[in-house]
């Protein structure tokens, strides 16, 4: 996992071109005005899901990871905590191929807070639990870029 802010991309010159493409797209498009849902950019190679929800307690959320796509979370509005661990530390459940969804259970070993402009890149070994309230429940809007591995 890699955590940073879209306004300081000069610190991340080592990132793969496909990930840099996400940031270019985010800077060139008014993502906050996008409707919720999936927005195609380059077929199944590269697209963005716009999500909006209210953060909640960790007990009301689930752990996940992905095998076919990288997740590049970019916070647009509000803030959320994302709990983190590595899938090797988790109890894995059955992978759902058509949704590229690997559910699991376990405890967090760390976490971070995404605020507007912040991003988190999750690789296949990165378990993440999103939409956790920082202090109180809050409405957020976020872009999740999906980049085919």
Q: What is the pLDDT of residue 97?
A: 97
**Rounded Cα–Cα distance for residues 38 and 46 (Å):** 11
Q: Residues 130-141: what's their mean pLDDT?
A: 97
How do residues 15-47 score in pLDDT, each as one tens digit? Answer: 999 999 999 999 999 999 999 999 999 999 999
Q: What is the pLDDT of residue 64?
A: 98
- SS3 letters for 74-100? EEEECCEEEEEEEHHHCEECCCEHHHC
Describe the chain by its helix, strand, coil percentages, rounded to 5: 20, 50, 30
Q: What is the pLDDT of residue 63?
A: 98
- Go through the domains of the chain in sequence order and give each one's CATH number: 2-148 (2.60.120.370)
Binning pLDDT at 50, 70 and 90, where does residue 128 land? very high
CA 117 to chain centroid, in Å, comes to 13
Task: Answer whether 87's CB lies under 8 Å from 102's CB.
Answer: yes
Tell the burial category of 118 from Cβ atoms under 10 Å away from its Cβ (0-12, 13-18, 19+).
Answer: buried
Residue 90, SS3? coil
How do residues 47-105 score in pLDDT, each as one tens digit? Answer: 999 999 999 999 999 999 999 999 999 999 999 999 999 999 999 999 999 999 999 99
pTM of the shown model: 0.95
């Amino acid at each position: 996992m890699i955590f940073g802010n879209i306004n300081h991309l000069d610190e991340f010159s080592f990132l793969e071109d496909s990930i840099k493409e996400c940031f270019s797209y985010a800077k060139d498009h008014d993502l906050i005005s996008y409707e919720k849902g999936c927005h195609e950019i380059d077929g199944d190679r590269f697209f963005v899901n716009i999500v909006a929800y209210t953060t909640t307690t960790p007990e009301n959320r689930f752990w996940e990871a992905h095998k076919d796509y990288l997740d590049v979370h970019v916070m647009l509005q509000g803030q959320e905590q994302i709990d983190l661990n590595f899938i090797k530390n988790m109890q894995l459940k059955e992978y759902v191929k058509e949704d590229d969804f690997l559910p699991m259970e376990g405890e967090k070993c760390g976490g971070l807070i995404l605020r507007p402009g912040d991003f988190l890149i999750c690789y296949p070994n990165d378990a993440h639990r999103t939409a956790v309230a920082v202090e109180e429940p809050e409405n957020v809007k976020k872009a999740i870029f999906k980049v085919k591995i």
